[in-house]
Structure 1
Amino acid sequence: MENKFDAIIIGGSYAGLSAGMALGRSLRDVLIIDSGKPCNRQTPHSHNFITHDGKTPKEISELAKAQVLEYKTVKFYDGIATKMERGSECFTITTQNGDLFYAKKLILASGIKDLMPNILGFAECWGISVIHCPYCHGYEVKGEMTGILSNGDIAFDFSKLVFNLTKDLTLLTNGKSTFNEEQNEKFYQNKIKVIEDEIERIEHENGYIQKVIFKNGKEIPLHALYAKVGFEQNINIEDLGIELNENGFIKVDMMQKTNIPGVFACGDNVTMMRSVANAVAQGNFAGAVVNKELSEEEF
């Protein structure tokens, strides 16, 4: 494989593949580097993306990859980018296997790594019945016994979205509640229960919740649990000095540009709006902006 490209895309899921297609259709030499471990790999179905509603994430990404690789200037590298360096004329990417690649532009579509809480059974249910997004998963569990694992203002605001989908709702703060008096009154009016007991484990069958068991021996049945978990970036952005915003996402402008000239970012690593449709849209736009920048430099 050649090692010099117009653009290197780190991350070959929805955002990265979408950017790759936009660049491939513009006759750009592109390398997509991906490890094959997307964050939604155990999610059974993907929703809220027209023409693909209800398909598995793998079905969507495999079809996308096959279509992108029809463009002969796009290449795919199965591996992990471990180092990014900025030179006077190009960027250098070093992989875990020691391979070196060079590019005029970089697109970071590397996603994020979810940080699982220390609750037995949580990780096994993540993306299946422990879910993050009412738009991606809420319709499938509408009207079911549902919990929200969160606390404070974030939990209060999030409960409004979930309450629209089910009235059988319980808030699990996993410790002392930080809701104010007004928020507690609103929960009372809407018959939303608040449980402050600490969680010990989640009982499930193949990732589908049966009940939540607390450390004091209490338990409640649930069919779905929304959870806001922490995360970290999948790649070492410190190599290039890329800035993060106050929420820990890569900071980009309206053109998907980072603070480093020639480096762009798109997908889950830049926004809390985590969905296939959003990642595809951002990747498509980032690819177009990169092509425009290259065209202006070459003209």
Structure 2
Amino acid sequence: MKETMSVSLDLLKKAGDLYVKYDCLIIGGGIAGLQAAIQLGRYKRSVLIIDASWGRSTICKSYHNILGWPDGVAGDHLRDLGKQHVSSYNVSFHYGKIIEVIKSEHGFTVTDETGNQFSGKCILLATGVMDRLPDLPGLLPCLGLTVYVCPDCDGYEISNKKTIVMGAGKTGATMALTLTYWTDDITYINHEQSDPGADLAKRLADKNIAYVNEPIKRILTENEWKFRGVELAGGKRLDADRGFVAFGGNKVNSDLAKQLGVERLENNHILVDPRTKMTNVANVWAAGDVVAHSELVTVAMGEGSQAAIWIQKKLLEMDREGK
């Protein structure tokens, strides 16, 4: 794994033309970005991963549904293994947040928040999604271990367990109803006290889901990571074995896609070709949670590899054309 030096745009000039340094710029060093880098590295391509060092996979303490990890694996550990994996390939890392991306006839130039610039022939956007989480003491150490955000990933973990859903309005109510597939002992705490609507309120009652319309003061834990319930703003304590968070309004990190004119859905997820993972903008690919699909680590891995295969096909075409 190689660290980069900042590159001045002036140093990228050669004979009056923009000299493209990297075959591919990967924006985002999470699961999709790292998997793509592994595949491109095995194609002997020059790759730069630009990582803001913060994302969904940095806060999840354990993923439970990944082949080969029956006891679970922490997101940051998985990322560290990915970085070790790419160390033998022609893959470099730069840590920073990209704020601007420009496309020209020569490729792409990106700029981070401190002014460093890098150029490449292709771009893979693997910028992910960040959950909207409440600022509650004790919450973060539990994430992925005893408190969860994704029913597809971790609904199984609450099977027949007393569970508290911490959420907001309709989003939290919908999550509570979804989780009845695994347990019938659910309490929904509407932390933000936004109205879930009469229909959802009735459905909660029909499913015998206890409903609490009061803010949470703090998370109750054992050994820091074992969720044991919550203390409400009024001082009352509610005990439980597991927790789920469902507030809605998750941040889809597709602002760079917007700059490039990439097509997005109303919820800001990026649309890609199902086969190639390329966007509507030539030589711009996207993979992982930022794409419109179920947000699973295993899906992100597959999309990273899939995008890399088609990036390689495009780079081979560029090689033949002398670009």
Smaller-chain TM-score bracket: 0.7 to 0.9
> In structure 2, do the counterparts of structure 1 residues 198 and 87 end up closer, same or farther at CA, with 3 Å as the change threshold?
same
Q: Which stretch of the first structure deviates more once superposed, 94-103 or 3-12? A: 94-103
> In structure 2, do the counterparts of structure 1 residues 160 and 114 end up closer, same or farther at CA, with 3 Å as the change threshold?
closer
* Aligned residue in 1 for 2:196: 178
Q: Which has the higher contact order (CA 8 A, sep 6+)?
A: 1
Structure 2 unaligned regions, length at least 5: 8-19
* Aligned residue in 2 for 1:203: 220
> In structure 2, do the counterparts of structure 1 residues 40 and 17 end up closer, same or farther at CA, with 3 Å as the change threshold?
closer
The equivalent position to 1:58 in structure 2, one of 76, 79, 82, is: 76
User: What does 1:265-284 correspond to in 2, within 5 Å?
Assistant: 265-271=286-292, 273-284=294-305
* Aligned residue in 1 for 2:251: 232
* Aligned residue in 2 for 1:93: 110
TM-score normalised according to structure 2 size: 0.79
Amino acid at match of 2:289: D
TM-score normalised according to structure 1 size: 0.85
| CA displacement 1:44-87 (0-9 Å, x = unmatched) | 3221110133122233222222222322x322223333321112
Amino acid at match of 1:83: E
1:30 maps to 2:47: yes
Whether contact under 8 Å (1:138, 1:162) holds in the other structure is yes
> In structure 2, do the counterparts of structure 1 residues 153 and 38 end up closer, same or farther at CA, with 3 Å as the change threshold?
closer
1:222 maps to 2:240: yes
How far is the alpha carbon of 1:10 from its aligned partner?
Answer: 0.9
> In structure 2, do the counterparts of structure 1 residues 267 and 192 end up closer, same or farther at CA, with 3 Å as the change threshold?
same
1-structure distance, mates of 2:301, 2:76:
15
How far is the alpha carbon of 1:151 from its aligned partner?
Answer: 5.6
Amino acid at match of 1:296: E
Whether contact under 8 Å (2:161, 2:185) holds in the other structure is yes
Whether contact under 8 Å (2:99, 2:113) holds in the other structure is yes
1-structure distance, mates of 2:201, 2:36:
45
* Aligned residue in 1 for 2:182: 165
Identical amino acids, percent of aligned pairs: 29
Structure 1 unaligned regions, length at least 5: none
Whether contact under 8 Å (2:254, 2:290) holds in the other structure is no
How far is the alpha carbon of 1:117 from its aligned partner?
Answer: 3.0
* Aligned residue in 2 for 1:249: 269
> In structure 2, do the counterparts of structure 1 residues 162 and 93 end up closer, same or farther at CA, with 3 Å as the change threshold?
same
How far is the alpha carbon of 1:37 from its aligned partner?
Answer: 2.7
